[in-house]
A = this chain, B = another copy of it.
Amino acid sequence: MPATTRKGAATRQRIIEGAAAHIREHGVAATTLDDVLARTSTSKSQLFHYFPGGREELLLAVARFEADRVLEDQQPQLGDLTSWPAWQLWRDKVVDRYRRQGRLCPLNGVMSHLGNGTPGAQAVVTELMNRWQAELAAGVRHMQGAGEIDPALDPDRTAAALLAGIQGGVLIQMSTGHTTHLEAALDLTLAHLRTPTPSTTSPSTAPTPA
């Protein structure tokens, strides 16, 4: 990716952000290279200069860009899950962020349009999920240290469940337009964390840790 000059780097960035913006407004399918060029006042040669891989490489760059935003938008709350009110603040921020975003999930859109099997795409999503889950798990551990969460709970597994709930909630919101499911998932999982102790009462089948 030849971006040696300051000017060049700026142009490259402008293309990425322009593409991201256009995708947010019209979706991936309805975003052609020419659209991006027109919007960013650049020429085709520039685009292919900075993204030799063409459309695919550009989409990947956009995916990275959007993935970073996802976590940034949850800060500073996500990094400070140290009390129940703090968790609640974070919860509200997540709901608000996705409610505002509306039906278009740029990241999911981009991902499915370049195939989830693509190594590059896979790397972007995997890293996002790992970082996200790690922050949540850190929060859980902190609360365990403070004696607010049952120490018997596996922080990583709990964080994984929470993360899955968020993803699913957002996914459903993309179709229905409502954040009901997202909120339900968040609230139920948080309620479970607050629950003092499972106190092994029902001798039913225990969840096998796979």
Q: Mark A residues whose CB is within 8 Å of B.
A: 27, 29, 84-85, 88, 103, 108-109, 111-113, 115-117, 121-122, 125-126, 129, 148, 157-158, 160-161, 163-172, 174-176, 179-185, 187-192, 194-196, 198-199, 201-202, 204-205, 207, 210
**Are B167 and A163 in contact (CB-based, < 8 A)?**
no
Stoichiometry (number of copies): 2
| Alpha-carbon gap, A199 to B187, bound state (A) | 16
**Are A164 and B192 in contact (CB-based, < 8 A)?**
no
Identify whether the interface residues of A are mostly helix, strand, loop, or mixed: helix
**Are B168 and A169 in contact (CB-based, < 8 A)?**
yes
Q: A88-B205, A158-B188 are in contact. List 6 more A-B contacts (CB 8 A).
A: A160-B184, A167-B171, A180-B210, A189-B189, A192-B195, A195-B198
Q: Please name the 9 residue pairs, one residue from A and one from B, whose CB atoms are nearest each other, closest first.
A: A168-B168, A167-B168, A84-B204, A187-B207, A164-B168, A164-B185, A161-B188, A160-B184, A125-B175
| Alpha-carbon gap, A121 to B103, bound state (A) | 13
The smallest C-beta distance from A197 to any residue of chain B, in angstroms, reads 9
**Are B194 and A195 in contact (CB-based, < 8 A)?**
no
| Alpha-carbon gap, A195 to B184, bound state (A) | 17
Instruction: With CB as the reference atom, state the residue of chain B lying closest to A205.
Output: B88
A-B contact pairs, 23 of them (CB 8 A): A113-B113, A116-B174, A116-B175, A126-B175, A129-B172, A129-B176, A157-B184, A158-B188, A160-B180, A160-B181, A161-B184, A164-B166, A164-B169, A164-B184, A165-B185, A168-B169, A180-B210, A188-B192, A189-B189, A189-B192, A191-B207, A195-B198, A196-B199
